Chain A
Amino acid sequence: MKELTVRIYRYNPGSDDRPHYQHYQVRANDGARVLHVLQAIHDETDSSLSFRYCCGSGQCGSCAVRVNGQAVLACMEEARDGMTVEPLELPVIKDLVVDMEPYLEAIASLVPSGEFRMPSHEEVEIMKPLRSCIECLACVSVCPALKVTTFAGPTVMREDMRLALDPRDHEDRVTASVADGLFACTSCQACWKICPKEIQIPGKAIEKLRALANRKGLTLPRHQEVAKLIRESGRSVTRIEPTFLEQVPDVIEPDGGVKATVGFFTGCMYNNRLPRAALDAMEVLKRNGIRVIIPKEQVCCGSPLIRTGQTDFLDTLKSRNINSYTFRNIDLVMTMCAGCGSTLKHDYTTPFRVMDVNEVLTHFGIEPPAPLAIKATYHDPCHLLRGQGIRDLPRELITKVVDLVEMPAVCCGSGGGVKSGIPAEADALGELRRAEIEKTGAEVVITSCPFCEYHISAHTDRPVKNICTIILEGYAEKDRREKPPA
């Protein structure tokens, strides 16, 4: 037995003006789950505490709650001392009980077609992962798109895709999914990272539905324009100034000894829109013994095509990119754009290793920059945090230079083709970021993805800087301090 102190959200809309938190002390058995603690509180201390549960074994999806801000199944999550338990971010009926019914009812039903054909083994194997959903609505509660636009939500998309795959279903699920908000998903990956069954809704449902929509000619016009641009120029965005590749040599030798050699995958945004940040990164690498090879024939990684379901040109891009590094015998490729990095890591089969710049810098180590008296916050790029599982490394680097104030890791709205396809949604999500940034009181916003940098810049009055830029500023300050006054 152990004693725990827990903090629980309480709210009865019928009698309370506003929600409040209540502390409870409770004795729990070794290995007790959050559910068992809630039961102990209800049975021994406070029978007015409401929560929902049923199977107690992670199979019915009744008991999802937020523990320390993370949506989890109460019956499977181990209870910890000091935890805060709150309802999912859905309309609250009472305490931890939320109104699930409207979301459950929105999930489509199979309409049997006249002729019955049993799905094949292959079809079943593709459908099965989409069927393991227990409809706990954790995904719905964390979806940023749902908060700002008309979107039926991740689990509706999941079932739409399963029905689209099922030969027994009669309806046009692809067109229906477009009406359900198929193009509203920002590919932030929050849904599947929170899913207790780890269903890859963005990759296995949404992108697949978008590909099917593409075959039906339902791709958004703005997305088609992007695809056309890639086909014509090899880049997903137009240039506005001399590109990064035009400004750098084929090889950048480091200042001192060579600690490592990397091939640099620039990405469209750093090449055509934000070359300054990439040039800053080159300076940081140069100072830290990293030799950088920059193949000039590299093109778009294809991420904008994959995210928007326009995959017919993809293989050409992939082989051009892979060849440009293998040709130079490069066995380690560095990405700086979170989206490119995630794509190279997950959508490519590469003969070389891929590391994000944050991994490269922390793996090989950097000369400490001078600390700056700046209060900064960090925006986690979705494709870095959830796409590549990189959370701590950028913080390790940032805190060498500035004081870090955290804010919740939520999508800024620039991914998944939403910025080009549904700009109003991207702006609404950007405005939510503005509010969070203001709450931190930070003077500077740091991030590590060109899409986030570009988009957030339009939604805050604070400067938005790349992580390499801030390190470089730390070096400049160091050099200034060390240089004798003129």
Chain B
Amino acid sequence: MLLCDPAHNKMHSDEEQDTHVLVIGSGGAGVRAAIEASGYGETLLVSKTLAGKGGCTTMAEGGYNAVLREQDSCEIHFEDTMNGGAWLNDPALVRILVDESPKRMDDLLRWGAVFDVTDCCEVAQRPFGGQRFPRTCYAGDRTGHEMISTLIDRLHSTDVRVENEITIISLLKDEDGVSGAAGLDRQGDLRIIHADSTVLATGGGTKIFDISTNSSSGTGDGYALGFYAGAELIDMEQIQFHPTGAVYPYDARGRLVTEAVRGEGGLLRNVLNERFMERYDPQRMELSTRDVVARAIATEIVEGRGTVNGGVFLDVTHLPRSQIETRLPVMLEQFLKFGVDIRDEPMEVAPTAHHIMGGLRITEWGETTVPGLFACGEVAGGVHGANRLGGNALADTQVFGRRAGEAAGKAPTRGRKTDHRGIEGLHEKLEAYGLGDVDPTTVIRSLQTAMWEGAGIFRNARDLERTLAIIDHLSTLKMKAPARENLAACCIAENMLATARLVVRGALLRKESRGAHVRRDISQAWDGRTSPYGHTYQSLQREGIEVRS
């Protein structure tokens, strides 16, 4: 069906529906939010993919941090998280994360999650980077998959309605704030959802980089949706580059090689067979924080001590074969598929864009700066500061997913007020794609290369400005959708451009190196704890960086 079909674009033909709570996103945070919200009223969960299959939760391998043992404490978890985050984290959010993570683990266990357990029927835990206690709970190396299986299972036991394969392209507004959302279904038809409260749980967006661990849904839609709805975002420059992504085959580059590999005792070596972490963090070695390990690997490669495929070696061949088979089965299986038996030969790895620490500014209850709009999970900012600890993201999805779901559920009902202007604007935008001339894939590829080159692990003002100019240029191109079913791809490409701009603007605003954000053109006399700066912030109204008093 061709796009320029005036009859089809009439507003009254759009399918409309109402709900009390609308949750956008079906990863760990979204499903957890929907489960909680359903206790307060009608809840609709909308997913760009089949629910549970999209997002990064199902791909998360390593684990879930929770204080479960006498010898550990929430205070230590708090400090580890703040230290890991270079003290850019919002302390109140971190406090909630560490206090409530064990309770949310309890929920998962009650709902049937099959985590590894010790001989004493306690959830087993392993060491992860940057933490002083082995507090990372796991289900082999498919922890996120176990969680999402459990959550989807639980979701089916609630009254939540699930609509699969709908791409939300805009939030709708009335004078009181966000009043729902508009999306495109598989055929490209517009769907209007009116909601008393809307929860953004859209996950991350490191697909804006050429090399990324994210699934196809990691396109940053939530940052763009929130920004254009007027919400404020913080610390968008803070991108976590996971130290260990696969380098082969080329088309699967960036695929996550879990931190659990190092947690289980995996060693990093360069092509000279040196355990190079001795030069970067002799104390913590391979289990240093991700920002440190990623920079170490990147430096080794840049300085010519990498492999021919452009990586370094990650080696588990000294571990018992049974340990690899039981604790790292997914890694074993994936590498075998690509011709490497990790029991006998080392893996080759290099840094890959993984997680956006920044995001929508939220309160302790997941409220954004716009009434009616909530955010949780990776799309929200402030919990992880300038560098996220491995194992804290899965915990974050559950703790803040539940909070956002509860708050959204408790929000008052309000009458439906159709955002006629917003919807009309959408129709115009969609119609324009019918007349465009540039394939969205071309735009995305240019963006990904520019971001990797100019806004990657090591940054400076000149490269960032240049990257911004590329984003600006790409934004002027008129993208085309040859058929209605291609409309969503154009909208997603726009979202990627918007997210990338937020990242680069944030990187320019933060004139210091902090955690994962490294400005090589700036020298500074402070560390994370003593930095004069707080969050960077950006919204339609203002942008800047907070200065600590």
A residues contacting B by CB (< 8 A) are 28-33, 36, 43-44, 47-48, 50, 52-62, 75-76, 93-94, 100-101, 104-105, 109-112, 116, 118-121, 124, 127-128, 131-135, 162-163, 166, 168-169, 197
Contact = CB atoms under 8 A, between A and B. Distances in A.
Most central of A55, A110, A111, A134 by chain B CB within 10 Å: A55
Given A93-B186, A118-B121, A60 B53 contact: yes
Contact of A48 (B112, B156, B483): B483
A93 B111 CA distance: 33
Contact of B338 (A31, A47, A52, A118): A31
Interface string B337-377: 11000000000000000000000000000000000000000
Given A30-B249, A57-B256, A43 B215 contact: no
Given A121-B118, A124-B116, A55 B59 contact: yes
Contacts of B121: 118-121
A128 B329 CA distance: 11
A168 B110 CA distance: 7
Given A48-B482, A105-B156, A111-B157, A36 B117 contact: no
Nearest to B60: A59
Nearest to A133: B149
Interface string B80-115: 000000000000000000000000000001111011
Interface of B: 49-50, 53-54, 58-59, 109-112, 114-119, 121-122, 139-140, 142, 145-146, 149-150, 153-154, 156-157, 164, 186, 215-217, 248-252, 255-256, 329-330, 333-334, 337-338, 439, 441, 482-483, 485-486
Contacts of B217: 54
Given A62-B49, A124-B117, A116 B251 contact: no
A110 B215 contact: no
B150 to A, nearest CB: 8
B441 A76 contact: no
Contact of B54 (A48, A60, A76, A163): A60
Contacts of A47: 439, 482-483, 486
B329 to A, nearest CB: 8
Contact of A58 (B116, B149, B334): B334
A54 B216 contact: yes
B110 A112 contact: yes
A104 B51 CA distance: 10
Contacts of A56: 215-216, 252, 255
A58 B337 contact: yes
22 contacts: A29-B249, A29-B251, A31-B338, A32-B251, A33-B251, A47-B482, A56-B215, A56-B216, A57-B252, A57-B334, A58-B330, A60-B59, A62-B53, A94-B186, A101-B164, A104-B50, A109-B154, A110-B111, A110-B112, A118-B121, A121-B119, A124-B115
Contacts of A94: 186
Contact of B111 (A101, A112, A124): A112
Contacts of B146: 131
A76 B337 contact: yes
B68 to A, nearest CB: 12
B3 to A, nearest CB: 13
A47 B480 CA distance: 11
A131 B116 CA distance: 12
A75 B333 CA distance: 13
Interface of A, secondary structure class, is: loop
Nearest to A61: B53
A308 B72 CA distance: 50
B448 to A, nearest CB: 13
A386 B485 CA distance: 41
Contacts of A57: 59, 252, 255-256, 334
B249 A32 contact: yes
Contacts of B153: 109-110
Given A54-B54, A59-B59, A128-B140, A119 B114 contact: yes
A197 B252 CA distance: 19
A36 B112 CA distance: 36
A30 B53 contact: no
Contacts of B483: 47-48
Contacts of A120: 117, 121
Given A33-B252, A60-B215, 16 more contacts: A29-B249, A32-B250, A33-B249, A54-B215, A54-B216, A55-B215, A59-B59, A60-B49, A62-B53, A109-B157, A112-B110, A119-B121, A120-B121, A124-B115, A127-B114, A131-B149
A162 B334 CA distance: 25
B116 to A, nearest CB: 7
Given A116-B110, A168-B110, A109 B216 contact: no
A47 B122 CA distance: 51
Contacts of B54: 54, 60, 62
Contact of B139 (A30, A60, A76, A131): A131
Contacts of B329: 132
Contacts of A93: 186
Nearest to B51: A104
Contact of B439 (A43, A75, A197): A43
A124 B112 CA distance: 11
A48 B439 CA distance: 13
A105 B50 CA distance: 11
B142 A132 contact: yes
B137 to A, nearest CB: 13
Nearest to B216: A54
A134 B439 CA distance: 33
A481 B110 CA distance: 76
Given A109-B153, A124-B114, A134-B145, A31 B251 contact: yes
A31 B142 CA distance: 25
Contacts of B112: 110, 112, 163, 166, 168-169
Which A-B residue pairs are the 10 nearest by beta carbons?
Answer: A31-B249, A110-B112, A36-B251, A43-B441, A60-B53, A29-B250, A55-B215, A109-B153, A109-B156, A118-B121
